[in-house]
Structure 1
C-alpha cells in the first residue's frame, strides 16, 4: 500500500538520530549491546505448515532474531526482536555486501522475499547477502495486533452524510481498540524506529554500510534511513517512489486520477474478452457494470457467499483490484466484478478466489495484524486533522470529481482519533544518489511522486516504465529493460548517465 510526508529537524549524524547522547571517541556507544550482538542463525521453518519458511530453506536461507530496544531513548529498558532472513553471497570474491529489503505497507512482511528478489537479481545476486526483514511489530517481529474486525482501516463513506457518520464511528472504534490492546507500544511504532532497527541490523551483520531495495512505503523508509544514517548506505533502489512531502495518514489523496485511468484500462481489457467474462463488448459498457454494482450496494448490501458487501466495501473491492498490470491480475478482478454483478442481480454467488480473499481481508479479522500495524505507523509518524468536518468537506469536494474513488481517498480514518506522534517526522535529506523506479500509471505511488523525488535529488536517476498501470516494477512486472538497469546499478554501483525510459509490454 502506500502516499507519504515529512517535516522535522534533519539529524546530522546517526548518533543524534537515535535520540541519545552523541557518540564520540570519548563517550561509550549506548547501543553497543545491540550493535555487537551475536546472531544465532537457524532454519526458517517454524512448523509443518510454514510455507514461507520452507521456501526460504529451499533457497538456502537461514533466519535469526535481532534484539532491539523498544524505546531508543531508553536502550537499557524493554527489548523486542526483529526477525531477519538471509541468503548469503556465493561469489565471495566479488561480494558487495548486504542488501536489505522492504516490500512496503507499512506492515508488509518481507522475511520471505529474498528467494524471489535473489532470482530477479540474476547473476548480480551472487554478490550480495540478500536480507529480508519483518519490521518491528510485523509478522515474526514481536507482532502488534489491535484485534480489529478488518484487515484495513480504509472504507468508502458512501453517498451521503449518514454513511460518513458511520465511517467516522468505525474509525473511532478502530483507534479505541488499538489503545485498548496495544497502547503500551503504539508510541514506538514509527518509521524512524524501524530505520533505527535497520541500523542495528546493519551493525549486527558486521556491515559498515548496507545496500537497500524498498518498494512503495519501503521507498519512504529508505528515504528516512538515508537521512538519519547518511554514511551507512551503499546502493539504494527505491521502487514505487513516495514523495516525502506527501507522506501522511491521508496517503491516498491525489491518487484518484491514476486509479480512474487504471480502471479504464482494465475495462478496455475486459471488453476485449467479453466472451470470457461477459461484462460488455466496449469499455464504457464494462464501466457501466461497475457503476451498477456500486449503485446496487448503496441500496442494499449484496450477498456474496457468506459476506454482505455494502456501500462502504464495494468501492474498496474496485480500489484493491487496481495495482497490478498483467493478465492474471486483470482476470481475477474481472471475475470479481462478474460475481458482484450477479449478486446485484439477485443471483446466488460463490465468490471467485480473489474476491473471497479480498472480502475476507476487508470484512473479517483474519488479517487484523496487517491493518493494525499499518495504521499504527501512519498515525505514529505524522499527525492527522482531528475535526471530522474537515474530512466531510474534502469528501464532498472530491466526490464531484470522481464519485467512486474521491470518497475513498478522502475519507476519515483512525488517525483522526490517535494520540499525537511522539516524535516530529523526518525532514528528508536534500540529495541521494539513488536509483528510482516507477510506472507512469502506478495507482498507489503515483508517477508524480517519483518525479518530485527526482527533482529533489539531482544525484539520482529515474527508471520510468511507460504505459503501465503497475505498482512495483523490479522483479514484479517483467520488464527486461527495467530489471537490467536495476541489476547493472547493483552490480557496479554506477547510476545510468541519464534517466531511463522502458516501454510496457502489450497485453
Structure 2
C-alpha cells in the first residue's frame, strides 16, 4: 500500500511484472525517445508547450507536447523560491475551445506520468475518450521536475540502499528490526545532506496544490482526474482541499486516507487482501494444469503446501545462484508480493521460480527473476547521479514522499515498540507482514516531515460532483474495503467493485466490457454506477506453456 506501488518498489520485481504497469504494447526497442527533452525546454511562468515524444506510442493517438512550469516552492510563502514542474500533454484528436483536460497520476508515490502517458495513452483514451487532453504533472522531486530528490550522491549508493532495504526486511533475523530502523535514519541523514531545502515541500498536499496551480493557468474552473494507487491519495487530498472544484474524479486502487497521513499504519488497510490474492494464485495454477503451471500439483491445497515448504527450505538454506550469490527469503517474498500485482503478466513466471526453489535447481525462471534486480552484481561505481534528471519509480522517492506525509520521526522508539509493529502486521498476514511492517518502521525512524500535511478530520466532504471509486476483491496492496471507507467520507460518491485479483482494475479486467460500460459514461456525463455494482474480472494468468517462458 502504498503504499500501493511503494511495496512493489521496495521489493525487487519479476521481469515485466511491474515495470510494465498496463498490459499493452510498448515502443519498439529501437525507437529513440529523448528522455532529456525537458532539459532543453525553457522554464516559464506560463504553459509554453513544445512538441515532444514524437516517437512514442502516444503520438499515434494525438499531438504530444511538453512544458516546464515555474511554480512556488511554498504556496504559503512564495518568497521561498520556485520549483520547475515537468508537464506532458496528450492532446485531443480534435481540439476545440471547450475541450476538457483530464489530469492523470499513475501512483507511486514517484511513478512518472510521462512514461505512463506515452506508453499507455491508448488505455487511458479507452477510459475517458479521444476528445479530451490528458495531462500529467511529474511530481515534485521526481524525474524531470526540478530540483530532484537526490538523497544518494551516486547510483551505487542508491543501489546499496535498495539492498539494505531488502536485506533488513523484518521477521527473519534478530537484527532486522534494528536494521530497518537504521535504514530510515540513514535516509533522513542523507536527504538532509544532499537536498535539505526540497524535502519539506515534496508531500502530497504540495503536489495537490501544484495540480490546482496548473488548472488555474489552463483557465479551467474544475478538475477532471484519473488517479491510480497512490494517485487515489493525491486525488482525495485535492478533493478535500478544493471540494468545490471537482468535475470528474475516478480513483482506482484506493489507498486509505486516514492511515496514509498517520505514522502508525493499519496493516489491514494495506495487506488485508494479500493472502487472498496469494491463495488465488494457487487456484489459478491448479486450473491452468501441468502444461501451463510449472508448480502444478493435485489440488490447490497441495500447491499451497508445497509453496510454503519451498519458502521454508529457502529460509533454512538460501539457494546459491551462479553469477549472483545467495537467493534468500526476503528477496523472494518481495518478488512474490510484486507478482500479485499483475497476475496475467507474472503468475507463470512466479510458478516457475517456485518450482526451481522447491527443487533447488535454478533455471530460466530464477534467471529471469534475478535479471530484474537493479545493479545486483555491478562491482563498479557508476557516475554521479544527473542533477538535471532525478529518480523516478524509486524506493527512495517513495519513502521520502510517504514518510513526509506520515509526519516524520516518532520519538522514544525502542525494541518493544518495533516488535509490536511487526506483530501487528504479521497478525494480518504472517507471510507478508514483515514486508509491510518495514514501511512503518522506516518512516517512524526517518525525520522527514512535510511542511504541509492534511491533518483535518477526513469525513463528510461534499464535492461539487461525485467521485467514482474502483477496487478489486483481491488487491494485494489496496484492499477493497478502502474504496468503501473512502466513499463513505464523500457523500454522493459510488464504488465500482471488480471481482478479480491484482492491483487496480486493469490487472483484473482483461477485455472486460462491464468496467468500460461504467467508466466511460461517468467521464462523459457524470453517470455513476449504483453503489455496490460488481463487474466480473476476466483473467487468464497462465496463457503460455511453461516451455515458452
TM-score (norm 2): 0.76
1:321 to 318, 339, 359: 339
Q: Give yes or no for contact 2:205–2:453 (8 Å, CA) kept in 1.
A: no
Note if 1:187 corresponds to 2:200: yes
Q: Which runs of 4+ in 1 moved over 6 A?
A: 361-368
Q: 1:63 to 1:353 in 2, by over 3 A?
A: farther
| Cα separation, 1, equivalents of 2:265 and 2:317 | 30
Note if 1:425 corresponds to 2:425: no
Determine helix, strand or coil for the equivalent of 1:169: helix
Note if 1:444 corresponds to 2:477: yes
| Cα separation, 2, equivalents of 1:393 and 1:80 | 40
| Cα separation, 2, equivalents of 1:187 and 1:461 | 34
Note if 1:128 corresponds to 2:99: no
Alignment of 1:136-215 (within 5 A): 136-142=140-146, 143-147=148-152, 148=158, 149-151=160-162, 153=165, 156-215=169-228
Q: 1:167 to 1:361 in 2, by over 3 A?
A: farther
Matched residue, 1:379: 403
Matched residue, 2:17: none
* More deviation, 372-381/119-128: 119-128
Q: Give yes or no for contact 1:151–1:363 (8 Å, CA) kept in 2.
A: no
Alignment of 1:283-298 (within 5 A): 283-298=300-315
Q: 1:506 to 1:232 in 2, by over 3 A?
A: closer
| Cα separation, 2, equivalents of 1:165 and 1:349 | 35
| Cα separation, 1, equivalents of 2:340 and 2:189 | 31
Cα distance per residue 1:174-231 (max 9 Å; x no partner): 3333223222211111000001111111122222222001011111101111121223
Report the CA distance between 1:422 and its aligned residue.
2.5
Gaps of 5+ in 2: 5-43, 153-157, 541-549
Matched residue, 1:62: 65
| Cα separation, 1, equivalents of 2:538 and 2:365 | 33
Report the CA distance between 1:398 and its aligned residue.
4.3
Note if 1:409 corresponds to 2:436: yes
Q: 1:426 to 1:278 in 2, by over 3 A?
A: same
Note if 1:461 corresponds to 2:494: yes
Q: Give yes or no for contact 2:201–2:450 (8 Å, CA) kept in 1.
A: no
Matched residue, 1:225: 238
Q: Give yes or no for contact 1:87–1:130 (8 Å, CA) kept in 2.
A: yes
Q: Give yes or no for contact 1:44–1:56 (8 Å, CA) kept in 2.
A: no
Q: Give yes or no for contact 1:95–1:127 (8 Å, CA) kept in 2.
A: no
Matched residue, 2:45: 37
Cα distance per residue 1:425-474 (max 9 Å; x no partner): 243462331011111111111111111112222310111112x1221115
Matched residue, 2:504: 472
Gaps of 5+ in 1: 5-35, 46-51
Q: Give yes or no for contact 2:250–2:468 (8 Å, CA) kept in 1.
A: yes
| Cα separation, 1, equivalents of 2:200 and 2:279 | 41
Matched residue, 2:422: 395
Q: Give yes or no for contact 1:83–1:141 (8 Å, CA) kept in 2.
A: yes
* More deviation, 205-214/56-65: 56-65
Q: 1:438 to 1:396 in 2, by over 3 A?
A: closer
Q: Give yes or no for contact 2:45–2:71 (8 Å, CA) kept in 1.
A: no
Q: 1:96 to 1:65 in 2, by over 3 A?
A: same
| Cα separation, 1, equivalents of 2:494 and 2:428 | 34
Q: Give yes or no for contact 1:252–1:444 (8 Å, CA) kept in 2.
A: no
Q: Give yes or no for contact 1:158–1:312 (8 Å, CA) kept in 2.
A: no
| Cα separation, 2, equivalents of 1:234 and 1:481 | 23
Aligned length: 465
Q: Give yes or no for contact 1:258–1:443 (8 Å, CA) kept in 2.
A: yes
Matched residue, 2:74: 71
* More deviation, 82-91/301-310: 301-310
Q: 1:92 to 1:166 in 2, by over 3 A?
A: closer
* More deviation, 451-460/172-181: 172-181
| Cα separation, 1, equivalents of 2:117 and 2:249 | 16
Q: Give yes or no for contact 2:71–2:82 (8 Å, CA) kept in 1.
A: yes
Q: Give yes or no for contact 1:3–1:251 (8 Å, CA) kept in 2.
A: no
Alignment of 1:273-312 (within 5 A): 273-281=289-297, 282-304=299-321, 305-312=323-330
Q: 1:146 to 1:336 in 2, by over 3 A?
A: farther
Q: 1:426 to 1:165 in 2, by over 3 A?
A: closer
Note if 1:353 corresponds to 2:348: no
| Cα separation, 1, equivalents of 2:91 and 2:308 | 51
Q: Give yes or no for contact 2:293–2:352 (8 Å, CA) kept in 1.
A: yes
Q: Give yes or no for contact 2:353–2:365 (8 Å, CA) kept in 1.
A: no
Determine helix, strand or coil for the equivalent of 1:65: strand
